């Protein structure tokens, strides 16, 4: 019997597994890489979620298993699936986009194509700015879920640290840095010893427990947080996704396409920003800190100390691998305001440090 490779999610957990799909007379047998049978899907209960780029990408759903997804990539494997279920194209789970969505989609793509003649970087930046912030939230939430699954050995809400006092201390720091910005920042702490922080589309930011543990002062956390908030303000994560996947894929993800949403989220993990984007984030972070009357010395000292420890602590390299060293960039930062104040009280600093307790 013919078989193809794919990715499978059972809809009950957030995990996505590599599987072997055996095509039988009346359906699929889905097995893990270890050979264990995971599920059997009958042809009459399979629906099409997405067929993209000349039938070289298929996402399938099962009517009797809500949330379950089966993804197949490659022209040959997709051809095997389509040959087994000739009527599949008539079983589309989600209707085509509305007239308004189609018009907006076509308009953005057309603008992108015309402007492409002039300069790609400027095109990407300008196009991303046309996308409403609220649309990015779908991708951002999926990014956070994917990152949490990769870096935490826990499940569900237990992956994220939260205490009433710790949350209040963190939210106060965020609002202090945000000032009068009209952006809804969603900042959470991921329970993992890895030293890292990242910004995702839609205002989502993750601070890793390892980063808070390694910080010696609240100003160091404030500096890193301001830097990630700057990435959100300038929408660098969405720009990266467009450059990595192309505008068409990102727009389909923004419209809620499950297959493209997963692709956009997976592409965001491990991506590093350009030097120009990092320099821009440094500049804006400094402005946020200055506006809150917080010293930018924490932004410098944290990275300097991590770089000095790189030879003895491999875990510290996670942040440095996605954020260029600040040795030269630190020299370009303007001096802190004379009236600089601590970013947090001692009590709130201890509450934040204990948020994972």
Q: What is the pLDDT of residues 17-62, one digit of tens each?
A: 889 999 998 999 999 988 899 999 999 898 887 554 445 778 888 8
Could you tell me which residue, 83 or 161, shows the higher pLDDT?
A: 161
Mean pLDDT of 109-115: 54
CATH number of the CATH domain containing 65? 2.30.29.30
Is 221 part of a structural domain of the chain?
yes
Same domain, residue pair 199 and 301: yes
- In-domain check, residue 281: yes
Lowest mean pLDDT among 176-185, 209-218, 296-305: 296-305
Same structural domain, 236 and 162: yes
**Any domain includes 31:** yes
Q: Is the pLDDT of residue 253 over 90?
A: no
| Residue bearing tokens 């000349």 | 54
pLDDT category of residue 9 using cuts at 50, 70 and 90: confident
Does residue 167 sit in the same domain as residue 289? yes
Residue that terminates a domain, selected from 59, 90, 121: 90
Cα 78 to Cα 57: distance, rounded to the nearest angstrom: 7
197 and 52, same domain (yes or no): no
Same domain, 176 and 306: yes
pLDDT at 94: 46
What SS3 class is residue 75?
A: helix
Counting the structural domains of the chain, the total is: 2
330: pLDDT confidence band, cut at 50, 70 and 90?
A: low
The percent helix, strand, coil of the chain (3-state, each to 5) is 50, 20, 30
Residue 25 in any domain: the answer is: yes
Q: Tell whether the model's pLDDT for residue 317 goes beyond 50.
A: no
Q: Are residues 22 and 136 in the same domain?
A: no
Who has greater pLDDT, 25 or 124? 25
- pLDDT band of 155, cuts 50, 70, 90: confident
Residue 268: the pLDDT is 59
User: Residue 333 — pLDDT band, cuts 50, 70, 90?
Assistant: low
Neighbours of 9 (CB within 10 A): 18
Question: How far does Cα 188 stand from its chain's mean position?
Answer: 13
Residues 66 and 198 in one domain: no
Same domain, 327 and 188: yes
Residue at which a domain ends, from 90, 121, 146: 90
Q: Are residues 60 and 139 in the same domain?
A: no
Claim to verify: residue 57 and residue 190 sit in the same structural domain: no
Residues 10 and 155 reside in one and the same domain: no
Between 102 and 242, name the one with better pLDDT: 242
Residue 67 is predicted with a pLDDT of: 72
**Nearest 5°: phi and psi at 46?**
-100, 135
Domain termination site, one of 58, 90, 122: 90
End-to-end alpha carbon distance in the chain: 53
Are residues 339 and 281 both part of a single domain? yes
Domain assignment present for 117: no
Q: Taking the model in full, what pTM does it have?
A: 0.62
C-alpha to C-alpha distances, 203 to 37, 111, 141, 209, 266, nearest whole angstrom: 40, 25, 10, 19, 18
Assigned token pair, 284: 């804006």
| DSSP code for 92 | B
Closest CA to 225 of 298, 157, 309: 298
Kind of pairing between the strands at 27-32 and 37-42:
antiparallel
Give the strands of the sheet with 3-9, arranged side by side: 37-42, 27-32, 17-23, 3-9, 69-73, 57-62, 46-52
CB 136 within 8 A of CB 201: yes
Place 332 in a pLDDT band, splitting at 50, 70 and 90. Answer: low
**Can you tell me the distance from the alpha carbon of 54 to that of 79, in angstroms, rounded to the nearest whole number?**
10
Q: How far is CA 342 from CA 220, 241, 339, in A?
A: 11, 36, 10
If we measure between CA atoms, which residue out of 208, 215, 225, 226 comes closest to residue 304?
215
User: Could you tell me the pLDDT band of residue 312, with boundaries at 50, 70 and 90?
Assistant: very low
User: For residue 218, what are the domain limits?
Assistant: 131-353
Q: What is the mean pLDDT of the chain?
A: 78
In a domain, 119, yes or no: no
Strand order in the sheet with 197-200: 160-161, 186-190, 204-208, 197-200
Evaluate whether residue 113 is within a structural domain. no
In a domain, 235, yes or no: yes
Q: What is the pLDDT of residue 248?
A: 60
- Which H or E run includes 100? helix 99-115
Do 357 and 213 form a contact (C-beta atoms < 8 A)? no
Residue 271's pLDDT band, with cuts at 50, 70 and 90, is low
Dist CA 187 CA 205 (whole Å)? 5
């Amino acid at each position: 019997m013919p078989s193809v490779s794919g990715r499978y999610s059972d809809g009950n957990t957030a995990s996505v597994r590599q599987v072997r799909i055996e095509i039988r007379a009346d359906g699929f047998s889905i097995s893990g890489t270890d050979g264990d049978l995971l599920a059997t899907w009958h042809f009459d209960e399979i629906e099409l979620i997405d067929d993209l780029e000349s039938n070289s990408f298929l996402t399938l759903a099962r009517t009797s298993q809500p949330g379950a997804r089966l993804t197949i990539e490659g022209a040959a494997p997709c051809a095997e699936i389509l040959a087994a279920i000739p009527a599949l194209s008539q079983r589309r789970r989600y209707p085509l986009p509305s007239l308004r969505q189609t018009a907006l989609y076509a308009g953005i793509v057309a603008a992108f194509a015309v402007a492409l003649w002039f300069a790609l970087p400027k095109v990407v930046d300008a196009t991303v700015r046309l996308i409403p912030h609220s649309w990015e939230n779908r991708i951002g939430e999926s990014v956070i879920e994917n990152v949490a699954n990769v870096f935490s050995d826990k499940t569900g809400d237990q992956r994220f640290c939260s205490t009433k006092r710790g949350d209040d201390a963190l939210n106060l720091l965020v609002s202090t840095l945000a000032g009068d910005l009209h952006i809804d920042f969603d900042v959470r702490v991921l329970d993992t010893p890895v030293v890292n922080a990242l910004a995702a589309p839609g205002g989502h930011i993750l601070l890793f427990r390892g980063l808070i543990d390694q910080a010696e002062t609240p100003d160091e956390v404030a500096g890193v947080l301001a830097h990630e908030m700057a990435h959100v303000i300038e929408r660098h994560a969405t720009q990266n996704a467009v450059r990595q996947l192309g505008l068409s894929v990102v727009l389909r993800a923004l419209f809620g396409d499950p297959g493209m949403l997963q692709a956009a989220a997976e592409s965001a993990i491990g991506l590093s920003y350009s030097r120009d984007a990092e320099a821009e984030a440094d500049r804006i972070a400094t402005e946020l800190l200055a506006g809150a009357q917080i010293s930018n010395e924490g932004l410098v000292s944290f990275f300097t100390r991590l770089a000095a420890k790189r030879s003895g602590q491999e875990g510290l390299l996670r942040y440095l691998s996605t954020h260029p060293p600040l040795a030269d960039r630190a020299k370009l930062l303007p001096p802190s305001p004379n009236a600089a104040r601590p970013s947090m009280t001692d009590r709130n600093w201890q509450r934040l440090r204990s948020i994972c307790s």
